[in-house]
């Protein structure tokens, strides 16, 4: 049974093995076989499609630990859907994307999800303001949150200390 090749492929497994066994230079072999010389292959099965793709040092997110903690705190505190959390956090974290937010909020533990609580019905114009303490590796931060319970519009701000001045600036 013959080898199935891609339509643009110019070499087979046998040709690659012959090139590797040959004592001729790569330039000579590439002219004879009418192929482009490649120096990055290691072994007959070391084709580019077999090599690992992606970053050499993968990282799971583009968020700092403080931003990550703020995202988690906002979601726990407000129970808002993913898109609403994204719109609330983007003014504070401009480089936040939907996919980064989704990765950040994926649970690390297995088991049953806690039952989601429904918001109580409020009249139009009811605005809830709260504060959450966020623990990070660098220390303690505070997350101010303002939510319109009817439209679920949320505003957030992450600050180093929670005092009257920072609360007034948030309002």
Instruction: Assess whether 99 and 145 both reside in one domain.
Output: yes
SS3 state at 169: helix
Q: Are residues 17 and 45 in the same domain?
A: yes
* Distances in whole angstroms, Cα of residue 81 to Cα of each of 13, 77, 85, 86, 100: 52, 12, 6, 9, 15
Full-model pTM: 0.38
87 and 158 housed in the same domain: yes
Task: Report how far apart the first and last C-alpha atoms of the chain are (Å, whole number).
Answer: 75
How far apart CA 17 and CA 136 sit, in angstroms, is 55
Task: Note the pLDDT tens digit of each residue in 111-139.
Answer: 556 677 776 777 777 888 889 998 888 88
If one counts every other C-beta atom within 10 angstroms of the C-beta of residue 141, the result is 21
Residue 44 lies in domain? 13-50
Q: Within this chain, do residues 34 and 84 fall inside the same structural domain, yes or no? A: no
Condensed to tens digits (0 to 9), the pLDDT of residues 68-104 reads: 888 988 898 888 889 999 999 999 888 889 988 888 8
Number of domains in the chain: 2
CB of 105 closer than 8 Å to CB of 82: yes
């Amino acid at each position: 049974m013959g080898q199935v090749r891609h339509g643009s492929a110019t070499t087979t497994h046998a040709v690659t093995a012959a090139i590797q066994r040959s004592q001729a230079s790569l330039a000579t072999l590439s002219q004879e076989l009418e192929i482009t010389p490649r120096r990055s292959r290691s072994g007959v099965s070391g084709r580019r499609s077999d090599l690992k793709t992606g970053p050499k040092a993968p990282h799971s997110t583009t968020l700092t630990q403080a931003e990550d903690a703020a995202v988690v705190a906002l979601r726990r505190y407000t129970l808002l859907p993913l898109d609403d959390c994204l719109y609330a956090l983007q003014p504070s974290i401009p480089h936040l994307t939907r996919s980064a937010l989704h990765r950040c909020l994926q649970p690390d533990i297995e088991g049953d999800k806690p039952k989601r609580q429904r918001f109580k019905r409020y009249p139009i114009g009811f605005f809830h303001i709260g504060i959450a303490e966020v623990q990070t590796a660098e220390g303690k931060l505070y997350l101010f949150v303002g939510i319109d319970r009817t439209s679920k519009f949320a505003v957030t701000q992450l600050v180093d200390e929670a005092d009257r001045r920072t609360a007034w600036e948030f309002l």
